Structure 1
């Protein structure tokens, strides 16, 4: 397993949300965690893989990455009065409809909204209005994910931190 191999190479695992990264001498020096711990780093690299929260952490180490949060809306309708045999693209509403364990799922509406803005449930309602006038009561959910314009490192300054992996210590 990857985690086992990393551990044998000296990686230390600490399960907590990283709130910020401190820099000293132009290098990542410590991680500030949601559980109050500050983990000191003894290497020169930090891999930031925090999804929608990566932009703020990258800014802590001086990288302004082209990253935003895409929020996707999903509506589920329990006990619909129809059954679909395959996913269907509803081009008028720009969303997909598919069956999910007996429920009708409507998805495909997204917005660039950042992490703090409240969901705009009117976007989810578009699909409901087009499909659901005579179906049972829907439930809605909203998820966040990061998006960037490229699937490669976004900041040349960040590439300088690749020299050797960082390890968190007590």
Structure 2
């Protein structure tokens, strides 16, 4: 039965393909043969571009970052995953190695009981895209957000701490930034 799903060449040089169910048989002309041969192999091809990263603010210890008088790029130093090396832990900046659709997530948070919120923009090149924001009077509060972006080769994405807000991190990595290539375009 498995061989029934493979293309077979007919006498008139057409390709016959069994699609979806055994009772649906489609025949294509020889001009379509090359196209359908490629289409049948496509699901088995692997995407060559592999890009994914996850990073936390601190490698060790615990610390508040902020409040600062102006918006500041957060530099995530703890990088357990950096497939493709597109994230730079020295600058906090992700640089797109291929044109494609990418998905990003970021989490911000801090201990409550102070007068400062936690807020951070996800920035594409110089444009603020989406913000994660929280303010908590007691206990620990956090916020997260996510976005899918079409990036060109060389576009940069990073997280920017909003002026006069703060974040707290420790060995539990409460503040993170992650992203991955969904598919090239």
TM (norm. structure 1) is 0.27
Q: Normalized per residue, which structure has more helix?
A: 1
Q: Normalized per residue, which structure has more strand?
A: 2
Of structures 1 and 2, the larger Rg is shown by 2
Q: Relative contact order (alpha carbons < 8 A, sep ≥ 6): 1 or 2 greater?
A: 1
